[in-house]
Each structure stands twice: as structure tokens, then as C-alpha cells.
Amino acid sequence: MLALNRIIAMLALSALPAGAEGVSAPKAAELSARVHAAGVAAGDPLILATAARLRKDAGLNGLPLSADAILAQAETLAAGDAEVLALIDGRGGGARLGHRLPLRT
């Protein structure tokens, strides 16, 4: 089962863009970069998936690190954890947890 702090972090981070309509692309890029850095530092694939979601939602495809590249990092970190991989791939649990996954379309 996912640790409660990881669920809280994912929910908190995924809620950020919902209330931020009209956020400029540079601000969204900065936010996604910070979330990505936090995910890398923590070694947490769910936080990385959130960074990818931020980039994908903002249409930030031209950045040096794409949403798909971040998802690949998340999947590597989640290797062997079926629950986390299911959240990343949208195969289960995403809607139940309130996430806007799947990221892979």
C-alpha cells in the first residue's frame, strides 16, 4: 500500500494547476521544474509523475526534459511497484485517488 505521505504529496501537487487557470507558460515551466527536482531528490515516482502532468497540461513540449522523459524516470523508479506503475499508466486507482492520470495516451 502506498505510504500516506506519498498520497498526500501527490494530491497536493496535482491540485496546484487546477486553481491556477491563466498561469503563464514560464510559471508553469518553473513549477514543473521545481516539482521534478523535488521528485528526483526524494526518489519518488509519484512526484515525478506530477511534474510530467504539469508539463503536459501546460503544453510544455519544447522543454529540454519532456513529460515523456519524466514519465520514463518515474517508471524506472517505480519498477517492481505495481500500484505506483498502475497510477502512472492509468491502469487503476488514478480516478479513485483524484489524480488526472493517465499520462500515457
Quick check: 11 pLDDT over 60?
no
Q: Is 13 helix (H, G, I), strand (E, B) or coil?
A: helix
Confidence (pLDDT) at 77: 93
Grid cell 528526483 in the structure block, residue:
40
- Give the pLDDT score at 1: 42
pTM over 0.85: no
CA torsion through residues 45, 88, 76, 36, sign:
negative
Cell of 8: 498526500
Which residue's entry shows cell 492520470? 101
| Identity at 86, one-letter amino acid code | A
| Segment 15-64, tens digit of pLDDT | 555 545 567 888 888 888 999 999 999 999 989 988 888 888 888 877 78
pLDDT score, position 94: 45
Q: Average pLDDT for residues 62-72, to the nearest whole number?
A: 85
Over residues 76-101, the pLDDT tens digits come to 999 988 888 888 876 654 443 334 44
Q: Quick one: pLDDT at residue 7?
A: 60
What CA–CA distance (Å, rounded) separates 25 from 45? 24
Hey, where are the domains in the chain? 4-14+24-89
C-beta separation of 100 from 13 below 8 A: no
Q: What is the pLDDT of residue 78?
A: 92
